[in-house]
Amino acid sequence: MITLRTDEEIEILRENALLVSKTLAEVGKRIQPGVSTLELDKLAETFIRDHGAAPGFLGYNGFPNTLCLSVNDVVVHGIPSAYRLKEGDVISVDCGTRYKGYYGDSAYTFAVGEINEDAKHLLKATKESLFKGIAQAIDGNRVGDISFAIQNHVEPFGYSVVREMVGHGLGSRMHEKPDVPNFGHRGHGKRLQNGMVICIEPMINAGTKDVFMDEDGWTLHTRDGKKSAHYELTVCVRKGHPDVLSTFEFIEKVIK
Ligand code: MG
Ligand code: MG
pLDDT tens across 123-150, in order?
999 999 999 999 999 999 999 999 999 9
Residues with CB under 5 A from ligand 1 (ion): 94, 105, 107, 232
Separation of CA 201 and ligand 2 centre (Å)? 6
Alpha-carbon span 149 to 39, nearest angstrom? 36
Residues with CB under 5 A from ligand 2 (ion): 105, 199
User: What pLDDT score does 256 carry?
Assistant: 73
Ligand in closest contact with the CA of 93:
1
Separation of CA 91 and ligand 1 centre (Å)? 14
Contact 104, 10 (CB under 8 A): no
pLDDT of residue 250 exceeding 90, the answer is yes
Alpha-carbon span 163 to 183, nearest angstrom? 8
Separation of CA 134 and ligand 2 centre (Å)? 14
User: What pLDDT score does 52 carry?
Assistant: 98
Written as one string, the DSSP assignment of the chain is -PPPPPHHHHHHHHHHHHHHHHHHHHHHHH-STT-BHHHHHHHHHHHHHHTT-EESSTTGGG--SSEEEEETTEEE-PPP-SPBP-TT-EEEEEEEEEETTEEEEEEEEEE-SS--HHHHHHHHHHHHHHHHHHTT-BTT-BHHHHHHHHHHHHGGGT-EE-SS--EEE-SSSSSEEEEE-SS--TT-SSBP-TT-EEEE--EEESS-S-EEE-TTSS-EEETT---EEE-BEEEE-BSSS-EE-S-SHHHHHHH-
Confidence of residue 18 (pLDDT cuts 50, 70, 90): very high
Q: What's CA 201's distance to the chain center, in Å?
A: 5
pLDDT tens across 184-238, in order?
999 999 999 999 999 999 999 999 999 999 999 999 999 999 999 999 999 999 9
CATH 3.90.230.10 describes domain 7-255: yes
The pTM score is: 0.98
